[in-house]
Amino acid sequence: MISSDFKVRYQGSVLGYAWSLLRPLFLFAVLYIVFVYIIPLGKDVEHFPVYLLTGVIFWNFFIEATTQGSLAVVSRGDLIRKISIPRYLLVISSSVSALINLGLSLVVLFVFALISGIMPDIQWLLIIPLVIEMFALTLGISFLLSTLYVKFRDISYIWEVFLQVGFYASAIIFPLSSVPIKYHAILFLNPIVQIIQDARYIIATHTSVTIWSTVNSFAIFIPFVVIAIIAVIGGLYFKRRSKYFAEDI
């Protein structure tokens, strides 16, 4: 299913799989020009281009995984009616497909970091737990969205609006240090902010604001609790409704 997903997605495209890397790079190029030369938001941030690209890559993975995941069940309705397969594989395959693209994008990010003069560090390996954390978050959301989309097709439009709002609410294009400190704890309620800021700390600059440097209590575990709750609710709701998919699609 992962293989067929890649083939269908890039069928008829001249550049094919290269688009999985070119899309985030094009977005990064536009943001780089705007926020480095026109509106220099990151002038005080060390290695800001790498800082910015890190956020763009993780955000693009979130968009791709959840958008494709929301359509995973409906888009394979014929398969569900003809073959008895575990329904959860439909969502997982779309998420893994996005995960492969994330892996390729991270390779580009590391190369770009080296070109920018950042020395490789053993801490770069800490990006792996962050990828796992992001994957768990997107998978839980995908289970929930794919289940809802079977009956409520408006979900796709609602989710598009949410993603537009989330882009600005997740500190993708501006350094979190530019936000008043009193709002940091609120922003870190969003697990995506915690993941991206930690990734920036690991790869780009140790001046990146992280939840570990902002909150000094058990509140540091809130993003992880939120992810766990979303994953459990999404998984259980998907399991409960999956037996009706063939009838509802």
Binned at pLDDT 50, 70 and 90, residue 40 comes out as confident
Q: Kindly tell me if the per-residue pLDDT of 203 is higher than 60.
A: yes
Distance separating alpha carbons of residues 149 and 142, to the nearest angstrom: 10
Is residue 13 in a domain? no
Q: Kindly tell me if the per-residue pLDDT of 111 is higher than 80.
A: yes
CA nearest 209: which of 177, 186, 239? 177
Is residue 177 in a domain? yes
**What are residue 78's phi and psi, to 5 degrees?**
-60, -40
Binned at pLDDT 50, 70 and 90, residue 200 comes out as very high
Tokens of 53: 């690209």
Most confident of the ranges 74-88, 188-202, 211-225: 188-202
The pLDDT value recorded for residue 11 is 63
Contact 214/185 with Cβ under 8 angstroms? Answer: yes
Binned at pLDDT 50, 70 and 90, residue 142 comes out as very high
HSE, CB side, 13 Å, CA atoms: give it for residue 183: 10
Looking at the structure of the chain, the number of domains it has is 1
Helix (H) or strand (E) holding 54: helix 48-71
DSSP 36: I
Is residue 32 in a domain? no
- Cα 49 to Cα 9, 130, 172, 222, distances in angstroms: 29, 20, 12, 29
Binned at pLDDT 50, 70 and 90, residue 15 comes out as low
The pLDDT value recorded for residue 101 is 87
Contact 214/188 with Cβ under 8 angstroms? Answer: yes
Is residue 52 in a domain? yes
For residue 221, the enclosing domain spans 41-248
Tokens of 169: 């609410």
CA nearest 246: which of 73, 92, 69, 94? 73
One-letter amino acid for residue 190 of the chain: N
**Average pLDDT along the chain:** 86
The pLDDT value recorded for residue 7 is 66
One-letter amino acid for residue 70 of the chain: S
Q: Kindly tell me if the per-residue pLDDT of 24 is higher than 80.
A: no
pTM: 0.88
Q: Kindly tell me if the per-residue pLDDT of 169 is higher than 60.
A: yes
Residues 6 or more apart from 45 whose CB is under 8 A from it? 51, 175, 177, 205, 207
| Lowest-pLDDT choice from 4-13, 94-103, 153-162, 175-184 | 4-13
Is residue 56 in a domain? yes
Q: Kindly tell me if the per-residue pLDDT of 49 is higher than 90.
A: no
Contact 38/129 with Cβ under 8 angstroms? Answer: no
In this structure, is the dihedral angle defined by the CA atoms of residues 29, 126, 99 and 103, taken in order, positive or negative? positive
Is residue 7 in a domain? no
Binned at pLDDT 50, 70 and 90, residue 44 comes out as confident
CA nearest 203: which of 130, 132, 118? 118
Distance separating alpha carbons of residues 155 and 86, to the nearest angstrom: 23
Is residue 162 in a domain? yes
Is residue 34 in a domain? no
Convert the pLDDT of each residue in 122-139 to its tens digit: 999 999 999 999 999 999
The pLDDT value recorded for residue 87 is 86
